[in-house]
Structures are given as structure tokens and as C-alpha cells.
Amino acid sequence: MILLDTARELHGLARTGGPAARRAVVMTMGALHEGHVTLVRTARAQVGPTGQVVVTVFVNPLQFGANEDLDRYPRTLDADLALAEAAGADAVFAPAVDEVYPGGDPQVRVSAGPMGGRLEGATRPGHFDGVLTVVAKLLHLTRPDLAFFGQKDAQQLALIRRMVTDLNFPVEVVGVPTVREEDGLALSSRNRYLSAKERHTALALSRALFAGRDRLAAQSALRARAEAQAPPAGDERASGLARLGEIRASADAHAVAAAGAGLPDAVRAAARHVLQEAGRHEPPLVLDYLALVDPQDFTEAGPGFTGHAVLAVAAKVGATRLIDNIPLEFGAHA
């Protein structure tokens, strides 16, 4: 595996598999973990043995706010190189800040637009402008056919896809599912900051998401069963289900039939309940946001929403801020 630290070296990197071979890039800020390894392995599988996988390791100052953890962010290049090589990378591009931004802070940046001001963008103004600017530069520098990003950063992934489409970047963006530890915590370089007690509290993020997912599944199944078994409507429906010994299901099905449009709120409520409980832990979970959004623009899913959605959460535990999300699917009757 080759280590590169200048744009000149990167431009000189030959595509070893011939003109038909594809190049993939996996962009990271270092402190690699199994989530990053999964991205590299997925990239390797996609381009095949004749393709080329380039991993970038760069802690991008543009995406950190004034009071965020730029100086504290872990830098573990030697360990990163070993993990990248073991996962199948052919090269690692690990430039210094003045190599990526030779004139200092760039005066021209990519604007994330309206989506960039929602959720993470509302909490961290300018964050996504910094992300898209460095992603755009790294796409130009690495010139890949495919770029792989984790779905844990769902809003970032959506914005990168939008940028690639809107600005005609000749690259395919591939989202890779979130990798979790055995206890459900989404893998993150920031997890290493958590004490044992903080980690216990932090598990509420994934538990809240799973509670929302389970509420959606339960109410969707209930509605489907009610529609399959029930008489036409109204009191006859409830009566018919009650005669089958499903009085509770009858009442719930009747409520769902009358107010099915409220299912997005029910999903939010189930997740919020878990987070509120964690707010009473020691140390407490301090919620930043919980949102159920349309992944196309990250606006809130309203009553009667159908199709793909993302249930997303961000919170602080101690001094560490964590994010997580899961994809959901709302059926035509949700």
C-alpha cells in the first residue's frame, strides 16, 4: 500500500488495472474503526481485484465550529494505515492542511443550500459548507469512479449526493449501512471519549431509534391485519374484531383507521419516550434534536407521509456529541 501526502503524488498515482479498471475513494478524518473498515471492504468488493481503492485521511478544519473539538479530534495515522491496508486499500492520501488549502481558508466554498441549514446544520452553522467544500476538493484530487460514505451521517450523505447531481460530478455516490457495536451503539471515532457511565447513557440513542422502528412495524402490522379481517367500517368493524376475541386489537385498529395519518407522530413519540428516560440518567443525555424526515431534503415528515424516511437523533453525553439514525419505510396506508 502507498502513502501519499501531496496532490502531486496523488496525481501521479497510476491506475494499475488498466483503462477499464475503476477507482473508488473512501473519505475519512482518520481514527479509523470498523465502520471505516466496512467502507473500504465494500469499495474493494465493488471495484474488484483489478480496481483501485484510495482512502483519504484528513481532519478538515472547515467543518468544525469555534467551540468544537478540532484540536481534540483523535489523530492516529499509523494505526489508520494498518487498518486501511488490511481492509484492502491500495493507497492512503493523508495531506497536511496547507496542502488541501494552500492559500489558507478558501474564499470560494460550496454552499449546502437550504438542506444544509436543517438539523445538523441548524446546530452547527456552516458545518455542511465545510464538508461539501472538502469533499468537492477531494473528488477533484482523487478522480474516482465511485465514492463510498456511511449512512450514519445521513444528512451529509444526502447533501453529497445533491452536490454531485447539481454540479455534475462524474462519480457514483454509494451509501453503506451503519455499523454498530454489539450493544447497538453506532460506531464513531468519538465513542472513545465516553466513560463507562456515559456509554451506558449513550445507548439510549440507538434504543430510541429502534423503539420508533418497532412502533412503526407494530402499528403497520395491526392496520394490515385489521383491513384483512374487518367488516366494512365503523362500529361493525370494531364489533367483528371483538367477536374474534381481539378487543384490544379492535380498539387500536379502529383508532389507526380513524387517525392513520398520525403514525409519524407515533413513531416520534416512541423514540422520544426513551430519550426522556435517558435524560434522567447520571450522567444525563442532553437531547439536541429528534426528527423524522424525508431523506430527499431533510424536511419533517408530516401527517400521512409515505415512502422512505430517516429517523435521526443527536445528543450530548458529558462533553461528547453523538448522532445516529435509521431508515424507515412508511407504507401507502401509514
Contact 299, 155 (CB under 8 A): no
8 A C-beta contact, residue 157 and residue 150? yes
Query: What are the grid coordinates assigned to 221, written together?
Result: 402490522
Q: What residue has cell string 453525553?
A: 317
The vertex-5 CA angle with 4 and 6, nearest 5°, equals 105
Q: For 4-44, what is the HEC assignment? A: ECCHHHHHCCCCCCCCCCCEEEEEECCCCCHHHHHHHHHHH
Residue (of 296, 299, 280, 229) closest to 257 by Cα position:
229
Distance of CA 241 to the CA centre of its chain: 41
Query: What is the identity of the amino acid at 168?
Result: N
Which of helix, strand or coil describes residue 331? coil
* Exposure class string for 122-143: b at 16+ Cβ within 10 A, else e: eebebbbbbbbbbbbbbbebbb
User: Among this protein's residues, is 308 annotated catalytic?
Assistant: no
Catalytic one of 36, 140, 254, 273: 36
Report the alpha-carbon distance of residue 205 to residue 222 in Å, rounded. 26
**Cβ(311)–Cβ(330) under 8 Å?**
no
Angle at which helices 196-229 and 234-243 cross, to 10°: 100
Burial of 225 (0-12, 13-18, 19+ CB in 10 A): middle
Q: Is 184 exposed, middle or buried (0-12, 13-18, 19+ CB in 10 A)?
A: middle
Rounded to 10 degrees, the C-alpha dihedral 116/121/126/129 comes to: -30
Which residues are catalytically annotated? Answer: 36
